[in-house]
Every structure is written in C-alpha cells, then in structure tokens.
Structure 1
Amino acid sequence: MRHIYRCPLRWSDMDAYGHVNNAVFVRYLEEARIDFLFRPEKDFQQGSVVARHEIDYKRQLVHRHHPVDIELWITEIRAASFTITYEVKDDDVVYVRASTVVVPFDFEAQRPRRITAEEREFLQEYTDDAEEEAVAA
C-alpha cells in the first residue's frame, strides 16, 4: 500500500524561471513524511530523525495553483531505522524520486531507539511486499 499526500505549491516555492526550486522538494518530502507518520491512529510520538536523503530530479515542476501528489511507501525496515521511498508526480509524469532513512529517536534520553512492534506492524502495511501480497490475494 502507498500513502498519498496532496502537496500544495506555494508562490514562494518558485525560482526565477517559474519552476519549483530543487531545494523546496526537501520540504515537500518532509510534509509528506509528517502526514504519513504523525496521524492520530498511528503515531511515532516518541519522535524520529532523518539520517539521510537521496533525491533524483527527473523533470522540472512548473509552479501552478493545484497540488502535486507525493506517493510514499516503505522499502526497508531494520531494527532501528527504516527507509521511505517517494515519487513526486502527476498521473504518469514523475518529477522527483527520493528516499529518506528515518531513525526513531528517544528525545528524553537523547539517543536513537529501536522500532517498536506496533511501529513495525504499521510500517509493514506500506512495504512493497505488502502491496504485492494484496495484489496476489
């Protein structure tokens, strides 16, 4: 299963050429990630930090007044980190492909922590394997 976030474009996102500035895409990914992780029913309340971003810019996104879709899913779950993969797109046009390694973090103890069983169960719903199993069923 994939999570879809409808990301609004802002006038300030635009560069001098009328395109969404490449640096703004990091904020878009952050907005999608927060929308995914911090929902009332499934919440990483103990916190998390980003360990790594990787972004492949495929096409320029021209500023407009309607949102762009960001699809995200989980591609790896480890003991104390997981990888979120994204596509920023409209229908068949992909503007950006990206991934983020996220580390659960205990802010009181000021150290990384392991993924809880509940968090792992939630994340597994959004893995590629879960999607393939649903299609096969």
Structure 2
Amino acid sequence: MSNLLEGYPVVTEIPVAWGEMDALNHVNNVVYFRYFETARLEYFADIGLMEEMQATQTGPVLSETSSRYRRPVTYPDTLLVGSRVAELTKDSFVMEYKIVSKQQGAVTTSGSAKVVMFNFAQQKRANLSPTLIEKMISMQPDLDAVATD
C-alpha cells in the first residue's frame, strides 16, 4: 500500500467513524474535506507553520478546495491520507491529497486545496517565510522553485 502514496511526504492515518456514514451506507462526501483538513494540519505541524503563525501573525487561509471520489468508503475502515505540495509560489501553495483505504487496498479519493498566506494583523496577503519554503522543499526535493519577487 505504501507504493500508492509514493511521493506524499506526510501520511495521516484516520479511522472511519460510524457517524460519518450517510443514508446510502457510505462515508458522506463532506467528511472527506475533514479528512483533508486533518492531513493538512499534520503537514503544517511537520513544517512548523502553526508555530510560525503564532509568532508572526501570518498564516494559512484556504482559498479553494476540491475532491474527486473514486470508490465508496464504509465503516469499519482505516484510511491513509497522503499530503504534499504540488505548486509553490511566494505567497501561496497548492496541496494535493490522496486517500487510500486499508480495507480495499486502493485509492478511494483524491483532492486539492489552494492555501494563501495572510497577515492577520495587517489584514492582507503575505509571503511565505524562507524557513517554510526551505522546509517544504526539504520534504519534497522535486518541488519547483519559488517566485521570489
């Protein structure tokens, strides 16, 4: 199963809860966005983004998000959610997610999210710090270079 998440530097394990099922007896579509959020926050923790936000008042704001449902997921199951940065600019990045079902041994869902850096004190868009950029690139050496102007 690890080959299904190759290229995803952060993998988050999430058990499917009974309450996440809908009337059609599979995980409700909105729940996947919570799975993506959990994986995104683990990625942020790995690069120290939330600690930096406390110090600088500059942090991530979700600009857009999407999901592609490939196979239904049912309870009981445990999901592995891979997360990575697909695009990186001076003030934003696009994350990609891939969800693998342990029970099915297959990819069930993929998704993406655009994250924009925002200075909450000044109420305006802001640049990623060089430290965050370095950490992202160290996790994914094949990540394209960042615009610096």
CA gap of 1:95–1:128, structure 2 versus 1, over 3 A, is: farther
Name the counterpart of 2:147: none
Instruction: Please state how far the C-alpha of 1:5 moved relative to its aligned partner.
Output: 0.4
After superposition, what is the alpha-carbon deviation per residue over 1:45-103, rounded to whole angstroms, capped at 9, x for unaligned?
32211011121111111121x42100111111001100111101136411111111111
Instruction: Return the letter of the residue paired with 1:55.
Output: S
Distance 1:128 1:58 in 2: 29
Tell whether 2:67 aligns with 1:55.
yes
Name the counterpart of 1:13: 20
Contact 2:79 2:100 in 1 (8 A): yes
Name the counterpart of 1:76: 87
Distance 2:107 2:131 in 1: 32
Q: How many residues align?
A: 128
Name the counterpart of 1:4: 11
Name the counterpart of 1:36: 43
- TM (norm. structure 1) is 0.84
What is the SS of the residue equivalent to 2:142? helix
Distance 1:120 1:55 in 2: 26
- TM (norm. structure 2) is 0.78
Alpha-carbon RMSD across the aligned residues, in angstroms, is: 1.8
Tell whether 2:133 aligns with 1:126.
no
- Equivalent pairs: percent with the same residue? 25
Deviates more, 1:1-10 or 1:80-89: 1-10
